[in-house]
Structure 1
Amino acid sequence: MPGLVDNCDAGFVMSMPHMTAPADGATQASAHRVRVAVETPQHAGMADVLDYLAEAELPPGTLLRVPLGRRELPGVVWPGEPSAEEAANALPAGQLRPVREALLALAPLPPAWCQLVEFTARYYQRAIGEVALAVLPPELRKLDNTGLAKRLKRLHKQMGLPDPDAKPKKRRKADLQPEPEAVPEVPASPPVRPALTTEQAEVLARLSPQFEAEAPACHLLFGVTGSGKTEVYLRAAEQALAAGRQALVLVPEINLTPQLEARFAERFPGRRLVSLHSGLTPAQRLQNWLSAHEGHAELVLGTRLAIFCPLPRLGLIVVDEEHDPSYKQQDGARYSARDLAVYRGKLERAPVLLGSATPSLETWQHARSGRYQLLTMAQRVGQGALPAVRVVDMAKQPTPGQGQEAPALCPPVLAAVRDRIERGEQSLLFLNRRGFAPVLNCGACGWKSGCPHCSAWRVFHKLDRTLRCHHCGFAERVPKACPDCGNLDIQPVGRGTERLEEQIATLLQDVERPGGGSVRVARIDADTTRHKGSLEEQLAAVHAGEVDVLVGTQMITKGHDFRRVTLVAAVNPDSALFAADFRAAERLFASLLQAGGRAGRDAEAAARSEMWVQTWNPQHALFAALKAHDFTAFAASQLAEREMAGLPPYSHLALLRTEAREGPVAEAFLQQARDAAQAWLKTHGGADVMLYAPVPPPVAKVAGLERRQMLIESPSRGALQRLLANWLPELHVLRSSLKGIARWAVDVDPLSI
């Protein structure tokens, strides 16, 4: 969805009555009316910016504690004047409730932050108060002024900053004596900066003028894996810091944060660097947020929520692996951090750098059209070659005997792995499915390990002998016999990373490492990295050469610099090739190209590095493009198909999702919502907006709730937004009139349909 910034002034805020709570008996004569953004209940039909009375005039962005009903909630003084409708519905000052407390210990949130939040709420069809409060640290929302002042004092002490509230000490007689001559400090050696490649130097030369430009552009850094994109990020951040500005660097997942943080800390010793992600404790997250908000932190690294971190001197935004779907929030306000980064860069006049070896097709189209500046790095650092891609036709491989399971690796791939072990090199096996097996099956009666709460199978995890649903989390012990017929012989069907790890260890048990000893197989996935520090420990073992074969999911296929890996094998990519989502091929190509990019990152071993792909569909055009490492050709073919089908980036989508205890109830809600939308379009003219019939998603039931969805499509972003803004108030009314609806939500620019 890059390009949404073109509509930032279109005025899509939905109109709702301006309601406030009754007064608490405060003195009205000297009070000031303030507009406050609070998180109001959706079903109440209240505006999310309410009027309160304050004893003094408060600047916009000030944090408050305000009453709402019987509760006391956090709020933010919101900028701007009320609309004509709000002014007409406003209550007189005598009926307004007073602000309980203003958190004056903290500097007000900057105007640019308020604009970013308001745009997010407007575009993604959420309430301003909901977005504004949700993106603040949870710990901050609980504090009063006294507690906040203590946190700030503690922060200043940890950073060695003077306490602004401290009284000056009286000078004693001893203090008047001349101080001994200071011993000059030995300057620390400057950090080592690798020499730039020709392509890196050219990219930075094009970026440099952007730090002085009145309206900096958004750039797509399209660089093959191993081309040195991180070094470009470091040099760009260096330029921002030299200009006295702050740099914000976004990564798609928490597991990429520590290693990138280490790179930045090594390059910028003495600079204040903080991280923001959900892996931090509430206290750590608040401290890092305060450090950034007050301007003390010069470098901020984080996942998608960090896009809302207030930075008073923002000078650069980097979005690493910009194509990654993790940048899209999947609950609440379903925003895209990548797209908001583009908007924020334009808003705060900071250059934006989107980096990827496999850009999203929306971003790629914007770069082709000239909306974004395209920066290309087509060569690996050290002139290393990309791994040779070999596609194996599984239909031509030996078939197992009756009752036997096919081996995890076909003979050519297994031979390649053995060869790497004998040379003291590492192999990486990529299978994007965790657990031991996707399902348990009874051959006698056909029973399968389904989830009683979801329309999905429970995955067999052998390590703890459980059947676990990856949708609702329901787990129980593996039955000793088939629950339906009592058959003792229930078998796992399919293969996950846990089973692949076990089978690989068996297949390689006769292989001896060069220094002696058995082959060392390790697995990295969500199950093996649950505990704090476990991921860092396992990655350190891989980097140290203590692992010969690494098995893992997509966690290990992006952002990691494995210098000893010379072989990557994709074990079963076909499961993602024919998914119902129109983005399936794009995602698979990105995953495979990123996985292959882990091999041959050491220039000396690049010539003998390989990627093997086991597939039953070798004739698919995706694999031809993969063999040539040709993203450009793949993107051109996909964009041609999208244009013919009228799919993004050539159209704009929204999904109305609903959940209910019974499927017919969910369908009735969507059908009535569709009728209401079509009636509005007929009255106001909206022939270019298409509303499809309600359908169930691929997993139609989760945690006991039936799910249904309805797609809305339009070639015009403005037409789609106008419909949504006028339609949502009717949906609130419709929701209250139907019994049995658990929840509903609108997803603008959905990543999957």
Structure 2
Amino acid sequence: MTIYHHIALNVPLADGLLTYAHHETLAAGTRVVVPFRGRPQAGIVWAGGITPDIEPTKIQNIQTAFTDEAPLPQDWRALLAFAARYYHYPLGQAVSAALPQGLRETKPVEMPQPPQYYSLSETGRLQAAPPARFHKKAAVWAALQHSDGLSLPALKQINRQADKLLEEWAAQGWIALKNAAAPVLRPSEYCLNAEQQAASQAVQAAFGQFQPFLLYGVTGSGKTEVYFDAMAEVLAAGRQVLFLLPEINLTPQLLKRVEARFADVPTAVLHSQTAAGRRTQDYLRAMLGQAKLVIGTRLSVFTPMPDLGLIVVDEEHDSSFKQDNELRYQARDLAVWRAKQAGCPIVLGSATPSLESWHKAQSGAYRMLELRQRAHSAAQLPQVDILNVGRLKLDNGFSPQALNLIKQNYAEGGMTLVYLNRRGFSPALFCGDCGHTFGCPNCSAKMVLHRRARQLRCHHCDHRETVPYKCPDCGNQDLTAVGQGTQRVEETLRLLLPEAGIARIDRDSTAHKNDWADLYRRIHAGEIDVLVGTQMIAKGHDFARLNLVVVLNADGSLYSADFRAPERLFAELMQVSGRAGRADKAGRVLIQTQLPDHPVFAAVKAQDYRQFADRELEERKMFGMPPAGFQTAIRADAPNVAQAVDFLNGIKAAVEPQLPEDVTHFGATPMLMVRLAERERAQMFLESPSRKSLHRALGLWLPYLQGNRDAKIRWSVDVDPQEM
């Protein structure tokens, strides 16, 4: 008998589902291998027993069905169906994007075996304990005697020879084995203050039901301890927790705290630097309920978890939660949808919440939990000074005041962070004779000088060139580096403080797996006196000695056409300011700017998020911008920008008469960075106060976009875009 199935394949079809035949009905969620255009491809059974809408003789057979593997669960499929629908992306490609590499391949995967837990059998409990002189052997016996079940790794921490002892005792019938054990949680050494306790209790009171919380707390207020306190209750009940982080570099420091608190909880860590095989196994462990705590970056929001009891999104404002290519999802928003699906609470935490989350908390859609004071009793919010450098002579970006503060802080034994949101030795190489600057041949961006590598690099497409010895226009050999980059700042500081320990932190200096671990070791050993960092160091890190932050070129982003630029700058400055004075030393922040009267700086100086958010929301409401309205960007790229603009405007003319009345349609314009990787880009925005109307408008656009037959033009749809 022939049974027809819909299979989700990684192909750019509208619904991504193709029909294949099999001799028996396969469960939805089963991985299969099917022929597609003459090649085998992995797919997921989306539905079985369907009636085909094409001629049965044209339907090919499923080649392999991995029925020994656990199928992907129904709630996971519902999540992917929603994501594909909401972000207007082909379902099959969305499914592929959500799977680890091992599950996208055409070969079987080994299902992880449940860990075994050891205890003494009834016969074993009647035996005499080993003599006390064999103290390590006796310690293992005592641990088994007083436990309902311990894993082999836990027993090996007591005695490295535990496996041999277990083998010996099992042969005598003294050991009982089982596949699950009551979770063992170590008591916290941290004592929550009244605000933290109230926040944790509110979350715990919502267990078993959907309730979104916005945990708004000043930097250093101990939000992580609130997360941990609530997580401990969920894990103690044997349920699962999903903990989302914006950046990979926040994971090592957090993991150390997790290991101290949840050492005996089966944990999976999922991010892009996890080895592919390990990531696949951890994904499956979570799906089978073996991993109780899942910690990961944005893609982890798609991890199947059958017994989800709590979701935490740390630094929820961070733009890293938004995927900027292919399936352009916002992990924070999907996490909220997922919490509703699972019927569990979700905690969104930040010292500088996104205006979207703040707006929802103000309207009552989210419940606000607030931490107004720093967790460390001696820690105070830093003193923030705004310095107008418009008429000052700067030394590689440093004002005399900044250099004096850094010297003084070093002399007094303090630690300084010099913050600059820019990588490289300098933003540009410049010819002083003819004014030539070195642009990327593929992008509309200047290349950045990396002095140590002796290269010019494009930070958008990664084009690289050897530094030229003369200007290609006039032949001048005296080429000048203009502006400040992290390497240039580092060299200036080495001249200022030749004896100091100075470390630069950017994507170049932390590219290797162990770079962060080595940096933390050096900081905690007191070997670092000055950190030079980009936005990677601005959030989530806690360094006790750090008591001075100097911010260079603070207002660069305010010249941007992006309406979110003030929000991003405020969050950045508040986060980086929050690194100062987190222990018993008073903190100080010096922000250099040429726009000292901008409202962003007044709010940062006051360390007042409400002041900033209320003003910014009023402005957004006035212009109908998110979160007061909704946006979608439709983008196209082509060999030249005129082709991209004409493509979008042509569809606009066809669609416009059919648009809902409350949807505003703007003409196509070149993107801020027009040229990228040898292609030129244009975009068009659709805006509406109604999310429903906006999606209806997109439904009108998509048939025209999908009908594009010009191979030179590529297009994409970005719902709730974060970039202009």
Q: Please, what TM-score do these two structures have when normalized by structure 2?
A: 0.89
What residue identity is the alignment partner of 1:481? Answer: K
- Post-superposition Cα deviations, 1:389-418, rounded to whole Å, max 9, x if no partner, equal 011111353x3xxxxx64432122222212
Counterpart CA distance in 2 for 1:210 and 1:351 is 6
Aligned to 2:43: 75
Equivalent residue runs for 1:568-607 within 5 Å: 568-602=549-583, 604-605=584-585
Partner in structure 2 of residue 344 of structure 1: 338
Give me the whole-angstrom Cα distance separating, in 2, the residues matched to 1:611 and 1:204: 31
Instruction: Report the CA distance between 1:81 and its aligned residue.
Output: 9.1
TM-aligned CA distance change 1:47 to 1:597, over 3 Å? closer
> Whole-Å Cα distance in 2 between the matches of residues 192 and 453 of structure 1?
54
Deviation, 1:221, is: 0.4
Cα offset, 1:180, TM superposition: 6.1
The CA distance in 2 between the partners of 1:50 and 1:408, in whole Å, is 58
Q: Deviations over 1:483-526 (max 9, x none)?
A: 111111110010101100001111234xxxxxxxx112110100
1:702 aligns to what?
676
Which letter does structure 2 place at the counterpart of 1:307?
A: V
SS at match of 1:697: strand
Aligned to 1:164: none
- Choose the corresponding residue for 1:472, options 456, 461, 482: 461
Alignment partner of 2:289 out of 290, 295, 303: 295
Between the aligned partners of 1:240 and 1:278, the Cα distance in structure 2 is 27
Q: Is the 8 A contact 2:114 2:290 kept in 1?
A: no
Please identify, of 107-116 and 538-547, the stretch whose mean Cα deviation from structure 2 is larger.
538-547
The answer on 1:260 being equivalent to 2:254 is yes
- Structure 1: tracts of 5 or more residues without a match: 1-29, 162-173, 400-404, 510-517
Instruction: For 1:136, give the aligned amino acid.
Output: L
Match for 1:206 among 202, 205, 211?
A: 202
Q: Measure how far apart 1:176 and its partner are.
A: 11
Shift of 1:375: 0.5
Contact 2:396 2:484 in 1 (8 A): no
Identity of aligned residues (%): 43
Alignment of 1:42-57 (within 5 A): 42=13, 47-57=15-25
Once the 2 structures are TM-superposed, how far is the Cα of residue 626 of structure 1 from its aligned partner? 0.7
Correspondent of 2:191 among 171, 195, 205: 195
2:28 and 2:185 mapped to 1: Cα distance?
A: 45
556-565 or 59-68, which deviates more = 59-68
Contact persistence 2:15–2:91 (CA under 8 A): no
Q: Match of 1:132, SS? A: helix
Matched, 1:693 2:667: yes
Q: Which residue in 2 is equivalent to 1:14?
A: none
Whether the 8 Å contact between 2:397 and 2:483 is mirrored in structure 1 is: no
Question: Aligned residues, how many?
Answer: 671
Q: Where does residue 712 of structure 1 map in the other structure?
A: 686
1:642 partner letter: R
Which of 726, 731, 741 is the matching residue for 2:705?
A: 731
Q: Which amino acid aligns with 2:91?
A: I
**Superposition deviation, residue 282 in structure 1:** 1.0
Change in Cα spacing, 1:80 to 1:355, as seen in structure 2 (3 Å) is: farther
CA-CA distance at 1:40 after TM superposition: 2.3
State the distance in 2 between where 1:553 and 1:486 align: 34
Give me the whole-angstrom Cα distance separating, in 2, the residues matched to 1:160 and 1:74. 36
> In structure 1, the residue corresponding to 2:671 is in which secondary structure?
coil
Q: Report the Cα distance in structure 2 between the residues aligned to 1:81 and 1:653, rounded to whole angstroms.
A: 39
Residue of structure 1 equivalent to 2:423: 434
Q: Of the candidates 36, 41, 66, which is equivalent to residue 34 of structure 2?
A: 66
- Pick one of 378, 382, 391 that aligns with 2:386: 391
Which residue is 2:611 aligned to?
A: 633
Asked if 2 retains the 8 angstrom alpha-carbon contact of 1:453 and 1:703, the reply is: yes
- Does the C-alpha gap of structure 1 residues 745 and 699 become closer, same or farther in structure 2, counting only changes over 3 Å? same
2:364 aligns with 370
Task: Pick closer, same or farther for the CA change 1:208–1:689 going to 2, 3 Å.
Answer: same
For the structure 1 residues 47 and 306, does the alpha-carbon distance in structure 2 shift closer, same or farther, using more than 3 Å as the test?
Answer: closer
Q: Deviations over 1:203-239 (max 9, x none)?
A: 01111111133xx211100011111111111111111
Please list the CA deviations of residues 249-305 of structure 1 after superposition, one character each: whole Å capped at 9, or x if unmatched: 000011111211221121012211111110112112112111111111011000000
1:665-708: CA deviation from partner (whole Å, max 9, x where unpaired): 11111111211221332xxxx11111111111111001111111
Equivalent residue for 2:316, pick from 317, 322, 330: 322
Whole-Å Cα distance in 1 between the matches of residues 64 and 454 of structure 2? 53
Q: Aligned partners of 1:449 and 1:540: how far apart in 2?
A: 39
CA contact (8 A) 1:388 1:609 kept: yes
Once residues 711 and 580 of structure 2 are traced to their aligned partners in structure 1, the CA distance between those partners, rounded to angstroms, is: 56
Which residues in structure 2 correspond to 1:3-22 (within 5 Å)?
Answer: none
Moved more, 410-419 or 647-656: 410-419
Residue 10 of structure 2 aligns with an amino acid whose one-letter code is: E
Indicate the residue corresponding to 2:500 in structure 1: 519
Q: 1:680 aligns with which of 658, 668, 677?
A: 658
* Post-superposition CA distance 1:318-375 (Å, at most 9, x none): 1000000000001001000000000000011121110000000011000000000100
- Aligned letter for 2:635? R
Q: Is the 8 A contact 2:185 2:261 kept in 1?
A: no
Question: CA 1:543–1:577 in 2, change beyond 3 Å: closer, same or farther?
Answer: farther
Q: Is the 8 A contact 2:21 2:62 kept in 1?
A: yes
Distance 2:614 2:632 in 1: 25
1:521–1:550 CA contact under 8 A, matched in 2: yes
Tell me how far 1:114 sits from its aligned partner. 0.6
Quick one: which amino acid aligns to residue 443 of structure 1?
G
Describe the SS at the equivalent of 2:79.
Answer: helix
Evaluate the alpha carbon distance shift between residue 407 and residue 478 of structure 1 in structure 2; reply closer, same or farther with a 3 A threshold. Answer: closer
Task: Rate the CA distance shift 1:108–1:508 in 2: closer, same or farther, 3 A.
Answer: same
Do 1:289 and 1:309's aligned partners in 2 also have CA atoms closer than 8 Å? yes
Moved more, 447-456 or 321-330: 447-456
Cα shift at 1:109 = 1.1
Shift of 1:194: 0.6
Q: Deviations over 1:560-611 (max 9, x none)?
A: 0111000011111111122110000000000000001011110x21xx3101
Q: CA deviation at 1:189?
A: 10
Change (3 A) 1:176 1:503: closer
Task: Note if contact 1:662-1:740 (Cα within 8 Å) is conserved in structure 2.
Answer: no
1:543 pairs with one of 513, 524, 530: 524
State whether structure 2 residue 7 is matched by structure 1 residue 36.
yes
**Equivalents in 2 of 1:189, 1:639: separation in Å?**
43
The residue number in structure 1 matching 2:718 is 747
How far does residue 740 in structure 1 lie from its aligned partner after superposition? 2.4
Would you say the 8 A contact 1:265–1:273 is kept in 2?
no
Structure 1 residues 245 and 34: CA distance shift in structure 2, 3 A? same
**3-state SS of paired residue (1:395):** coil
State the alpha-carbon separation in 1 of the partners of residues 40 and 417 from structure 2.
53
1:690–1:714: 8 Å Cα contact kept in structure 2? yes
* Alpha carbons 1:33, 1:93 under 8 Å: kept: no
Q: Which runs of 5 or more structure 2 residues have no equivalent in the other structure? A: 118-150, 154-167, 177-182
Find the aligned partners of 2:547 and 2:400 in 1 and give their Cα distance: 18
Of 362-371 and 539-548, more deviation after overlay is shown by: 539-548
Deviations 1:30-89 (A, max 9, x none): 2222222112244xxx6422222222222211111112221221111215997xxxx6x7
CA distance in 1: counterparts of 2:318 and 2:484, whole angstroms:
25
- Spell out the pairing of 1:131-142 with structure 2 (5 A cutoff): 131-142=94-105
C-alpha contact (below 8 Å) 2:634/2:717 kept by paired residues:
yes
**Distance (Å, rounded) in 2 between the aligned partners of 1:65 and 1:595:** 49
2:4 and 2:48 in contact (8 A); partners too:
no
